[in-house]
Amino acid sequence: MTTRSLTPVKSGNFETFSWFFMRVSALLLIFLVVFHLLYMHIVIRVENITFRTIVDRWSGPLGWFWSLYDITMLFLALLHGANGARWVIDDYIRPPAWNTTLKVVLYLFVFIMLIIGIQTILRFQAGVM
């Protein structure tokens, strides 16, 4: 008598890439977020952060650097979180229809947040307010 596992077997290049991405993005995010916190809280100081501070940061002489830095942090954080949520959905939501529906909602949410974040950063970088 053989028993079947209820957990679907995950294989293929996507799952391997997904596993690897989680490790690399976590490591990169640690450095990006720690530098961001140190810069914003120690160099600029929290009491000096205003709307104008952020506008100047994105539209100043190093605006391209800070825009790229913040977009990278946004991408990595959202995709890292979405990948983790995808794993949770696969582990706990068994009915295929619910599983697919929740993933579609998750992907749509991540896509919308990426568009809003990138649009915000680039709009300030271009000096459009």
- Residue-wise pLDDT for 59-106, tens only, equals 889 999 999 999 999 999 999 999 999 999 999 999 999 999 999 999
Model pLDDT, residue 67: 93
- Contact in structure between 103 and 86 (CB atoms under 8 Å): yes
Specify if 6 maps to a domain: no
pLDDT attached to residue 104: 98
Cα–Cα–Cα angle for 78, 97, 113, nearest 5°? 20
pLDDT score for 9:
56
Positive or negative torsion for Cα 80, 81, 86, 88: positive
Looking at residues 20-43, what average pLDDT do you find? 96
Query: Is the residue at 4 inside a domain?
Result: no
| Reported confidence tier of residue 8, pLDDT bands at 50, 70, 90 | low
In the chain, the number of structural domains is 1
- Residue 127 confidence (pLDDT) above 60: no
pLDDT at 21 over 80: yes
The model's pLDDT over 79-89, given as tens digits with 9 standing for 90+, comes to 999 999 999 99
Confirm whether 7 is domain-assigned: no
Is position 3 within any domain? no
Q: Quick check: is 5 in a domain?
A: no
Its domain, for residue 39, covers: 13-125
CA torsion 45→46→52→53, rounded to 10°?
Answer: 40
Would residue 1 count as lying in a domain?
no
Q: 121: burial class by Cβ within 10 Å (0-12, 13-18, 19+)?
A: buried
